[in-house]
Chain A
Amino acid sequence: MSRWRHLLHLALAVLLFVAASSRAQTQVVLDPTAEFFDGSVLHELRLWINTRDWETLKTNFLSNDYYPADLKWNATTTPNIGIRSRGNGSRSGFKPGLRVDIDHYASGQRFLGLKSFVLRNNTQDPSQMHEWLSMLFFRRMGLPASREAFARLFVNDQYAGLYTIVESVDKSFLTRQFGEDSGYLFDYEYPAAAAPYYFEDRGRNPASYVPLPFKPETNENNSRPEVIADMVQAINASSSAVFRSAVAEFIDLGQFIRHVATEVFLADQDGIVGEWGMNNFFMYRPQFSNLFRLIVWDKSQAFVMGQAYPIWHNITDVPDANRNRLMNRALEYPDLRALYLDTLLEAGRAASEVPVATLPGDTRGWLEREIDRAYALIAPSVLADTLKPYTNDEFVASVEALRVFARERTPFVNADVAASR
């Protein structure tokens, strides 16, 4: 009997092992991009592009013309991809930011299941970490954000500098983040020369909102722009009595407040309540829902306002005309105001949390540890990067400023929150 029991236990153990193995394999199969976006690793990417094309791309860096190239990452070589210069203020003819479109010349082609990704040049950020740290922090806060990792880029076998691999906000991202991709994704794109926009009412005409500043990224031929026009109407025209219910049909107010609070904690000057009106976000709603959710984008200007960036900056310390209409009205509700303050405190805890398993005397919080980890990972590559538009001393100083931010931001925010209660 005992022998049979042993056999039974053995069989169960084998069964469990097989099940666990197959589950692990299934997970790998389900997320083939995890390794590519692993931020704990310094990746190496290689592009082969005709010499003349590379020079033309750099010369015409303001153009969005595509050029064919081959891509290699680890043992994976993907031919026949398209690359182009990208970015706004970060565009550069020396160290171009790149959009990598895997399917530009072959609609069905994928790289690890991806249709595209971005190679950020970080020309506006001497630390090279603003974007990467911000996205990591947004995800830590439970908010949808692109995965990112650092990579040494070689073009035609010549070192082209340190870049940040950025996951595109596209259908692959939507599927991973929301479990479906059939809905309506809009990229908030505001022309630099246009007057800042604060969600103010531009009337009921959908053309006042789509394709600018809300550019359809999915369902381009039927983007249902009237929903955005209705949302802006609800933000601006609904009475206080019905504002919550009217707006709640179009936007997840809780997520909106948390998104803004996280940006403010990161002292971002170019976000929803930035210095120049709204900027740098996507909005997504599922196919059979009008409820939009925000997706963060481009945080090169995070941290730059320093650890003493007031939590009400551009929210209550500016004239009415320069206040974000949605944020302004939302904060009239005590519970949403409390959520804003609570989220700031939560961000402070997330940034300064000291891991349990840590060496005695090491008081560095999560954010500072991530900065140190990234510095160790990228410093040799940044120092060897002769195409970056700043000196090595500026890089080191900028990283040190980040460390100071990591140490001092939480106490400052906590004090500001306490004063606001």
Chain B
Amino acid sequence: MLNGVLAGLLTLLPPGLQSKPAPPSSPTRVTQQAPASDVEFRWRDHPQIRSGRLFRLDFLAKFQWDARHPGDDPPDFDDFEIHRARIGIEGEFFNRVQFAIERELTEREVENPNPDVNEKSAWKDVYVDANISDAVQVRAGKFKIPFGLEQLTGISNLDFVYRSLSASYLAPARDIGVALHGRFFDRGLNYWAGWFRHDGDNARSSTMDGAGDTLAVRVTGTPFRSVRGLSKTEISGAFTVSALDNESASPNGLRGRTVMSQFVFYQPVFVKGLRQRYEVDGDWSAGPVGARAEYTHVLDSREGQGLADQDLSDARGRGWYFSGTWVMTGEEKERPVEPKRRFGAVEAVARYERLWFDSAGGEGPLLRNPRANNMLPSGEHVLSLGLNWYITRWVKLQFQTIREEPQDPERTPVAPGEAFWSPVFRFQVGI
């Protein structure tokens, strides 16, 4: 077992520094073989204990350290932080039941002074998945609501230091629920359909309760698998419907914040009724290049939320992004990229995005107050440019600069009409 551990740790080093190159067919896979019935330690993608097909236990750890400086110079901002420190286990029993438990050690939003408001939990994935057949699987517990390509991409595998704004503020993220999912046509079509207790961590804060019962459906297809150059194209669509009650004393709509400094350029508004989210996305890669695009549309009803208790037009949040990546050292575009050179792999990334909020079809003067029928739009355009250096499959350095241009001159952290640049460096280890 000790040999297995040492062999596994060696894989964290750049390929050129390892004493013996991994086999070409499976460069970092099985490091030790044992009889199927014995308990053995392995290092596949993670340290692993398994006993043939009886059970498997993977140990996970994710660590991200950031050095950054937001261009809008917020007061009391810490330029250095441990952004993530997560540990977890994943496993499988009898080749039928999978489970995952993951906990964040640096969660910043769990200390909530208001006990009536749902807290963000430091527990991330905590679920059990029963694999009845390829087409029918059931997952229960806390996990990501199936919505949004970028939001469903794990934190270790993001092309950019920060998720897109629409993934961070419009997509729901994790919640407690149960989902039916499966795949058809040799993974050519995947589906998820689930019920969740609320509508995810992204809709909650110390002052926002978020929505209640949530139904979510997502379908993913690879319709061009037989078309050369498009074989790795994945197209998805998703929607959620959530109940918004009127129990929250403070505005319970969604919010918009800047990328790094988290300046709130759009405060939540009062909402009641239904929250509807719609999303379409595409993910393509061919050789060393890849591209992603996503559009998200959220409508919040505002029943009885006017100054005279009248219904207001729906509050609307919209976001889109387009991103492109190029592994300049020639490796296949994967998440993560597996370096094949002595110094690792280097990838150039760029993303342009927009997130904005307004009301859908409201009449009357354009106003900023949280009960305006016709809400003055507020949002921002963001350009992200960067380089990712995959030293190994598990160790990554990211250098990125982000240009943000807020839309509303009165809801901006900088002078009206100005844009600002924010550099960030991230060191990441993920096993």
Judge: A and B partners, yes or no: yes
Residues of A within 8 A of B (CB): 48-53, 56, 59-60, 65, 68-70, 79-80, 82, 104-107, 156
- Which residue on chain B has the smallest CB distance to residue A82? B369
Contact-residue bracket for chain B: 10 to 19
Q: Is the CB of A68 within 8 A of B249?
A: no
Q: Is the CB of A80 within 8 A of B249?
A: no
Q: A56-B249, A107-B410 are in contact. Are A80 and B305 (CB under 8 A)?
A: no
Bound: A68/B269 CA distance, A: 11
Q: A56-B249, A68-B370, A68-B371 are in contact. Are A50 and B309 (CB under 8 A)?
A: yes
Q: Is the CB of A80 within 8 A of B309?
A: no
Q: Is the CB of B250 within 8 A of A65?
A: yes
With both chains docked as a complex, state the minimum distance between the C-beta of B400 and any C-beta of chain A, in angstroms: 31
> Which parts of B364-383 form the interface with A (CB within 8 Å)?
365, 367-372
Known: A80-B367, A106-B410, A107-B410. 18 other contacts (CB 8 A): A50-B270, A50-B305, A50-B306, A50-B309, A52-B309, A53-B270, A56-B249, A65-B250, A68-B307, A79-B365, A79-B367, A80-B368, A80-B372, A82-B369, A105-B367, A105-B372, A106-B367, A106-B368
Cβ contacts A to B, 11 pairs, < 8 Å:
A49-B307, A50-B305, A52-B246, A60-B249, A68-B369, A68-B372, A70-B307, A82-B369, A105-B367, A107-B410, A156-B308
- Which residue on chain B has the smallest CB distance to residue A157? B308
Residues of A contacting B368 with CB < 8 Å? 80, 105-106
- Which residue on chain B has the smallest CB distance to residue A107? B410
- Which residue on chain A has the smallest CB distance to residue B376? A106
> Which parts of B303-329 form the interface with A (CB within 8 Å)?
305-309
Q: Is the CB of A48 within 8 A of B308?
A: yes
Residues of B contacting A52 with CB < 8 Å? 246, 270, 309
Bound: A82/B307 CA distance, A: 12
Bound: A340/B269 CA distance, A: 55
Where chain B touches its partner, the secondary structure class is loop
10 nearest A-B residue pairs (beta carbon) = A68-B369, A105-B369, A105-B368, A80-B367, A48-B307, A68-B371, A56-B249, A80-B369, A51-B309, A107-B410
- Which residue on chain A has the smallest CB distance to residue B270? A50
Residues of A contacting B309 with CB < 8 Å? 50-52
Residues of A contacting B307 with CB < 8 Å? 48-50, 68-70
With both chains docked as a complex, state the minimum distance between the C-beta of A277 and any C-beta of chain B, in angstroms: 31
Residues of B contacting A70 with CB < 8 Å? 307
- Which residue on chain A has the smallest CB distance to residue B250? A65
With both chains docked as a complex, state the minimum distance between the C-beta of A48 and any C-beta of chain B, in angstroms: 5
With both chains docked as a complex, state the minimum distance between the C-beta of A271 and any C-beta of chain B, in angstroms: 35
Where chain A touches its partner, the secondary structure class is mixed
Bound: A79/B364 CA distance, A: 11
Bound: A11/B222 CA distance, A: 92
Residues of B contacting A49 with CB < 8 Å? 307
- Which residue on chain B has the smallest CB distance to residue A57? B249
Residues of B contacting A50 with CB < 8 Å? 270, 305-309, 371
Residues of A contacting B306 with CB < 8 Å? 50
- Which residue on chain A has the smallest CB distance to residue B269? A68
- Which residue on chain A has the smallest CB distance to residue B307? A48
Bound: A106/B376 CA distance, A: 10
- Which residue on chain A has the smallest CB distance to residue B305? A50
Bound: A68/B249 CA distance, A: 14
Bound: A59/B308 CA distance, A: 19
- Which residue on chain A has the smallest CB distance to residue B409? A107
- CB 8 Å contact bits of B241-273 with A (1 = contact, 0 = none): 000001001100000000000000000001000
Residues of B contacting A65 with CB < 8 Å? 250
Bound: A104/B369 CA distance, A: 9
Residues of A contacting B246 with CB < 8 Å? 52
With both chains docked as a complex, state the minimum distance between the C-beta of B226 and any C-beta of chain A, in angstroms: 56
Bound: A48/B305 CA distance, A: 12
Q: Which of B246, B305, B308, B372: most chain A Cβ within 10 A?
A: B308
Residues of B contacting A51 with CB < 8 Å? 309
- Which residue on chain B has the smallest CB distance to residue A47? B307
Residues of B contacting A107 with CB < 8 Å? 410
Bound: A245/B246 CA distance, A: 63
Q: Which of B249, B307, B367: most chain A Cβ within 10 A?
A: B307
- Which residue on chain B has the smallest CB distance to residue A55? B249
Residues of A contacting B270 with CB < 8 Å? 50, 52-53
> Which parts of B89-129 form the interface with A (CB within 8 Å)?
none
> Which parts of B343-368 form the interface with A (CB within 8 Å)?
365, 367-368
Bound: A65/B365 CA distance, A: 24
Residues of B contacting A105 with CB < 8 Å? 367-369, 372
Residues of A contacting B249 with CB < 8 Å? 56, 59-60
- CB 8 Å contact bits of B71-100 with A (1 = contact, 0 = none): 000000000000000000000000000000
Bound: A70/B371 CA distance, A: 11
- Which residue on chain B has the smallest CB distance to residue A52? B246
Bound: A50/B309 CA distance, A: 5
Residues of B contacting A48 with CB < 8 Å? 307-308
Residues of B contacting A79 with CB < 8 Å? 365, 367
- Which residue on chain A has the smallest CB distance to residue B365? A79
Bound: A277/B292 CA distance, A: 66
- Which residue on chain B has the smallest CB distance to residue A108? B410
Bound: A52/B270 CA distance, A: 10
Residues of A contacting B369 with CB < 8 Å? 68, 80, 82, 104-105
Bound: A283/B410 CA distance, A: 30
With both chains docked as a complex, state the minimum distance between the C-beta of B268 and any C-beta of chain A, in angstroms: 13
- Which residue on chain A has the smallest CB distance to residue B368? A105
Bound: A106/B309 CA distance, A: 22
- Which residue on chain B has the smallest CB distance to residue A48? B307
Bound: A251/B371 CA distance, A: 46
- CB 8 Å contact bits of B222-249 with A (1 = contact, 0 = none): 0000000000000000000000001001
- CB 8 Å contact bits of B409-425 with A (1 = contact, 0 = none): 01000000000000000
